[in-house]
Structure 1
Amino acid sequence: MEKLWSGRFQAQSEDWVNSFGASIPFDYQLAHEDIAGSIAHVTMLATCGIIANDEKEQIITGLESIDQQIAEGQFDFTLAHEDIHLNIEKALHDQIGPVAGKLHTARSRNDQVATDMHLYLKQQVGMIIEKLNNLQQVLVNKASQHVETLMPGYTHLQHAQPISFGHHLLAYYSMLSRDQARLTESLKRIDISPLGCAALAGTTFPIDRQQTADLLGFSAIYDNSLDGVSDRDFIIEFLSNSALIMMHLSRLCEELILWSSFEFQFIEMADQYATGSSIMPQKKNPDYAELIRGKTGRVYGNLFGLLTVLKGTPLTYNKDLQEDKEGMFDAVKTVSVSLDVMAGMIDSMAVNVETMEHSTEKDFSNATELADYLANHGIPFREAHEIVGKLVYSCIQQGIFLQDVSLSDYQAISPVIKADIYDVLASRTAMNRRNSYGGTGSQQVKDSIKRAQAALAK
């Protein structure tokens, strides 16, 4: 089958070579954007007097018909036409005849594909922002149910200090807020039109690039035609932002996996977000959390793959840039589904409140309370720290905890210690005394939830 660009060529590649070079197996996903860009382009060509109005109408009618066929699954994408642009152009030629050839006036596939990807990412980033908002709302809702739920806070995966479970969940709300802010900021660089840059140097036709940008809803146009056709920074930025999102989700998944284990028993995943074993009847595995954790590496790979592709490509377009799409499509799908699954897991998980609270009572996470108590009674903190450290060691030797030490033994350590020490050592007291801004005290957590709800309402 003769290709639309075959005029200069005397021989055709074999099918397996054509298959290697074709991008239609994945860039068919740009069909709607490609048609939208073509409609804007042909409208501009008519406005500028480059083609006749009746030719414009024929082309637009044909493109709209093809768009409908694709939407209904009735369009036959073929490897013979190698990419989405030529597949649509060939179908348009078959439908309306030679006038279809005027569509490509003052345009190259180089600025055409770049336009498609800008349009695609603009829409997909908006969708991902909405999914981030949804997950944030789920986290805030769950946090509001567990303001008073005690759990151990960890450093080095060792019990550190008692905290509110709601406070812990809100840490992920904050991470996702930064993710959302980065994506929103990136839209400034996605929302730029390269259409009209042509192959690399612009065009001799009297086109109006601002008109096509306006028709497509772009807020700006590329100032330099070379940059317009070769820039893929906006995709790298998206992949980088996606990697950060997945890293945050993976951290939370790691905690869900730990918390749902027999050793922790802090939570239980809903049945629809767990699987069983083919040999061990008792198993309930957190597979979906593990999948998100695993797919994080996949998104990292997409980022490093494109960075590597671009590091050695001279200006302007090179066939290497065909490798910009699969990773982008994959990251969009992976991040989107992961956000949905995570929202479902958090919303449906059962929290074992008593187990969490009990775990803060049979440990030494209240040791800092005793050190602070001594410091508040005039003992230098470093001295207080050493006193408590030695007492913790003594308790470990005896198989008891700080709240089990008798008052007489406490007063033998320091006469400043009074009977109120037992209230100070209580986990809930320890949590609520941390009432500094952003701390784990109940009132601070409630205030954080109010701020989060107000932000989400915007």
Structure 2
Amino acid sequence: MAQLWGGRFTKETDKLVYAFNASISFDQKFLAEDLQGSRAHVRMLARQGILTREERDQILEGLDGIERDVASGVLEITDRYEDIHSFVEANLIDRIGDAGKKLHTGRSRNDQVALDMRLFTRRNLCELDAELRELLEVILHIMEENIKTIMPGFTHLQKAQPISLAHHMGAYFEMFQRDRLRLQDIYKRMNYCPLGSGALAGTTYPLDREYTAELLGFDGPTENSMDGVSDRDYLIEFLSAMSTVMMHLSRFSEEIIIWNSNEYRFVEIDDAYSTGSSIMPQKKNPDIAELVRGKTGRVYGALMQILTTMKGIPLAYNKDMQEDKEMAFDAMDTTKGCVRLFAGMLRTMRFNREVMLASARHGFTNATDAADYLVRKGVPFRDAHGIIGRVVLYCLDRGIAIDDMKLEELRQFSPAFDGDIYQAISMQTCVAKRLTIGAPGPEAMAREIALAKSYLEKHPAMSDPSRA
């Protein structure tokens, strides 16, 4: 068992205790970040005269060799090592001898793991931002293609008023745009380097923390060493933001599942994003949308787990904080994967425009406009509301839409109806005359789409400076 702390102990750790304490099974995901942090630390130590140039070069060459051999499969990460840090250091010493023992000068595993977690989170945050931007591109394309595609808008899952498909999609564009803004905000707060905080109280070595931060693409070093090793606010914020992304995806998935049903038939999901039944040959199931909806709970669970872990921890580092990783890693992978799959499903989905239009007509979504028509003819609104309510009952009894009624039928309910009623309550008119900012009318939608395009042009995906 490779350990970095045996000098104080007179007997070997119990095997069960060792296994319970070890983190190598999951923190091996940190290999790239651990090597990256070690390279920056070594360069800083040499610049400060704490290491010689020869020692620096030896260590850097050894670290490069470890990275190459792990990538090629020559070197395997096993549970012989307690964590990824001991794996790197032990293999470095095996390769280059005493110079490798100087890698840890002026550094604790506390600030080392704090750095690795921050680098790993930053990388995943940037990757999620790129996935969200791709999803926004897909949504924008649907908006541009469907300004005149009429569908019912809903409240309480009841057909309410006619809108355009572009308008409906625009609501999700706003949601995922806000998600990106949250990620950018988190990035600004988290982009400070904890390396050099030591175990909790810094170090007596003359470290240049500003230089280390610069090498690693941070905006600067963390200002308090105790907070530096024990802060996981950025991870909590990221998990919260991912939970919100998943909530948005889940809402969208729920609508697609409904739209895909035999009763609605608003959409047809591409075969590549559907599955069948093992017993019912007619079935084409919206499994991707259902799985996205289901996996939302996993991400929520990760957020609650880290909040619960952190709530009772005194300063500074405590072993409880090792529990910040497994569920967070899963949440990152889950969220990125769901956004990527959802974008693919949406990109290949076919919209049944005629079915949407018919649903809007027969759902009496123009009832409000019919009432407004009577108001413009001098009928008090409360009276107009009651008249149209009775008109709807009449249509329901006969299985027709309001605009299927003859003028003579309409005049049985109010003499204010005239020949211009049909133009006033056509689906196209009902949508087109809604021109206020944020409404579904073509002019308002053209403005919304222009703003969306401008946003995407001005906001490329965030780049991880450590990958530049």
| Range into which the TM-score falls when normalised by the shorter chain | over 0.9
Q: What is the identity, as a one-letter code, of the residue corresponding to 1:456?
A: L
Residue 81 of structure 1: SS of its match in structure 2? coil
How far apart, in 1, do the equivalents of 2:368 and 2:23 lie?
Answer: 61
Deviation at 1:412, TM superposition (A): 4.3
Deviations 1:91-132 (A, max 9, x none): 101111122111111110100011111111222211111111
Deviation at 1:399, TM superposition (A): 4.0
How far apart, in 1, do the equivalents of 2:14 and 2:186 lie?
Answer: 42
Counterpart residue number, 1:333: 333
Scaled by the length of structure 1, the TM-score of the pair is 0.97
Q: What is the identity, as a one-letter code, of the residue corresponding to 2:175?
A: M
How far apart, in 1, do the equivalents of 2:324 and 2:409 lie?
Answer: 69
Q: What is the identity, as a one-letter code, of the residue corresponding to 2:210?
A: Q
Deviation at 1:190, TM superposition (A): 2.0
Deviation at 1:2, TM superposition (A): 5.3
Deviation at 1:181, TM superposition (A): 0.3
How far apart, in 2, do the equivalents of 1:69 and 1:383 lie?
Answer: 81
> Following superposition of structure 1 onto structure 2, how do residues 319-358 of structure 1 map, counting pairs within 5 Å?
319-358=319-358
Unaligned 5+ residue runs, structure 1?
none
Counterpart residue number, 1:3: 3
Counterpart residue number, 1:386: 386
Counterpart residue number, 1:70: 70
Q: In the alignment, is the contact (CA less than 8 A) between 1:121 and 1:190 conserved in 2?
A: no
Deviation at 1:19, TM superposition (A): 1.8
1:208/1:423 CA distance change after superposition, 3 Å: same
How far apart, in 2, do the equivalents of 1:233 and 1:112 lie?
Answer: 17
How far apart, in 1, do the equivalents of 2:199 and 2:342 lie?
Answer: 43
Scaled by the length of structure 2, the TM-score of the pair is 0.95
Deviation at 1:9, TM superposition (A): 1.0
Deviations 1:251-270 (A, max 9, x none): 11111111111111111110
After superposition, the CA RMSD in angstroms is 1.4
- Farther-moved stretch of structure 1 (291-300 vs 61-70): 61-70
Deviation at 1:383, TM superposition (A): 3.1
Deviation at 1:17, TM superposition (A): 2.7
Indicate whether 1:254 and 2:218 are aligned: no
Among all aligned residue pairs of Structure 1 and Structure 2, give the percentage whose two residues are the same amino acid. 48
Counterpart residue number, 2:170: 170
> Following superposition of structure 1 onto structure 2, how do residues 133-282 of structure 1 map, counting pairs within 5 Å?
133-282=133-282
- Farther-moved stretch of structure 1 (10-19 vs 192-201): 10-19
Count matched residues.
458
Q: In the alignment, is the contact (CA less than 8 A) between 1:114 and 1:229 conserved in 2?
A: yes
How far apart, in 2, do the equivalents of 1:262 and 1:302 lie?
Answer: 35
How far apart, in 2, do the equivalents of 1:366 and 1:40 lie?
Answer: 65
Q: In the alignment, is the contact (CA less than 8 A) between 1:150 and 1:163 conserved in 2?
A: yes
Residue 361 of structure 2: SS of its match in structure 1? coil
How far apart, in 2, do the equivalents of 1:174 and 1:78 lie?
Answer: 46
Deviation at 1:194, TM superposition (A): 0.3
- Farther-moved stretch of structure 1 (126-135 vs 66-75): 66-75
Residue 159 of structure 1: SS of its match in structure 2? strand
Q: In the alignment, is the contact (CA less than 8 A) between 1:375 and 1:381 conserved in 2?
A: yes
Counterpart residue number, 1:118: 118
How far apart, in 2, do the equivalents of 1:100 and 1:260 lie?
Answer: 60
Unaligned 5+ residue runs, structure 2?
459-468
Deviations 1:28-55 (A, max 9, x none): 1111111111111111111112222211
Deviation at 1:410, TM superposition (A): 3.0
Q: What is the identity, as a one-letter code, of the residue corresponding to 1:331?
A: A
Deviation at 1:409, TM superposition (A): 3.9
Q: In the alignment, is the contact (CA less than 8 A) between 2:33 and 2:120 conserved in 1?
A: yes
Q: In the alignment, is the contact (CA less than 8 A) between 2:179 and 2:241 conserved in 1?
A: yes
Counterpart residue number, 1:94: 94
Residue 163 of structure 2: SS of its match in structure 1? strand
How far apart, in 2, do the equivalents of 1:326 and 1:441 lie?
Answer: 48
How far apart, in 2, do the equivalents of 1:84 and 1:312 lie?
Answer: 27
Deviations 1:326-355 (A, max 9, x none): 122112111111111111101101111111
Counterpart residue number, 2:449: 449
Q: In the alignment, is the contact (CA less than 8 A) between 1:18 and 1:79 conserved in 2?
A: no
